[in-house]
Copies of this chain bind each other. A is one copy, B any other.
C-alpha cells in the first residue's frame, strides 16, 4: 500500500558531485550538489542543478566550464562542508586543507584528493525554478591509477564514492554488488 508524500524532490540514489569552478577573482571553489547526473553518451554530457544565489552559479557561466569531482568515503566531512559553506565569504579549499590543480582542458580546478574527476565545458543552462540546469560536455575523465581494474576501467569499489539519500539526508557508501548489468535480465528474454 503506497502513501502520497506530495510533490517533493526525492529519488534514490543521488550523487555527491563536488562542482569545481574559478570565481571572478580567480579563486578556486567547490560546491556540493546532489541534483545531477550523466545525461548523454555521445557526446558524453553531465547535468548539475545549481541555485542562482550560489557563488558557483556566475563563476560557471563566466568561465563556461566546471569540473565534477567524485569524493570517496574518506572525504565525507569536506564534501559536506562544501555544501554548507559559501565560497563567497570563505576560502573553502584552504579551510578544508585540500588542493586543486588547474585543468589543462577547461577553465576550472581539479580536486587533487578526488579519485575521479570530470572536466566539463558548459553547453547550456536552463532555468527551472529554484535551480538552473547546467549541462556540460565531458572533455575528459581522470581517475587515480589505483582505482582502475585489470581492464583499465574505473572500479567503483576502489573509488568508494559517496551516495546521497534525500529524505534521510544521509551519506551512504556502496554496498553489495547485486548483479551484472546487461546480463542479469537475460534470463527473462524470450
Chain A: residues with CB nearer than 8 A to chain B? Answer: 1-15, 17, 34-47, 49, 68, 70, 73, 76-85, 90, 95-96, 110, 116-118, 123-124, 126, 128-131, 133, 135, 137-145, 148-149, 153-157, 159, 161-190
Contacts and interface: CB of A to CB of B under 8 A. Distances in A.
B79 A185 contact: yes
A109 B46 CA distance: 28
Given A83-B182, A190-B95, A40 B129 contact: yes
A142 B135 CA distance: 29
A84 B155 contact: no
Nearest to A70: B12
A175 B174 contact: yes
Among the interface residues A110, A143, A165, A173, which one has the most CB atoms of the partner chain B within 10 A? A165
